[in-house]
Amino acid sequence: MTGVTTDPELACPIAPVVDLVFSRWTTPILWTLHAHGRQRFVELERRITNITPKVLTQRLRQLERDGLVVRTYHPEVPPRVEYEISELGLSLAPLFAHLADWATDNLPKVEQAREGYDRRG
């Protein structure tokens, strides 16, 4: 069917989910909040190495906007802000568990395939 343009989201209905959940730093943030519970910004920064404060701030804002993270502001001196995974975010746990299982079972095979491919040429 030449000349026919297919909307990628119609061709692959999970594309928006992949874009939402698997964008850079989203998975480590959600994983950390799921594994360690409510965290302050500094705690997240310590647990997720190599992320800059600016990027962490941007990702947390986006995750809050998407409903995957809840931000709680405590009007104290000094002010305290905590982040936790939302119920919607928690609903992704089975997906992450399946992906972790897949990674354990299949990433060695992926590495073997890469090595075989690289040897060819």
Residue 39 covered by a domain: yes
Residues 47 and 44: their CA atoms lie apart, in Å, by: 5
Identify the DSSP state of 68: S
Residue 27 covered by a domain: yes
Domain containing 54 — which CATH number? 1.10.10.10
Please give the tally of structural domains in the chain: 1
Domain span at residue 85 reads 10-90
Residue 67 covered by a domain: yes
Per-residue pLDDT of the chain (121 residues; tens, 9 = 90+): 455 556 766 778 888 888 888 888 999 999 999 999 999 999 999 999 999 999 999 999 999 999 999 999 999 999 999 999 999 999 998 988 999 999 999 999 999 999 999 999 7
Q: Compute the C-alpha angle 107/99/51, nearest 5°.
A: 85
Residue 25 covered by a domain: yes
| Per-residue model confidence (pLDDT) at position 2 | 55
| Per-residue model confidence (pLDDT) at position 9 | 63
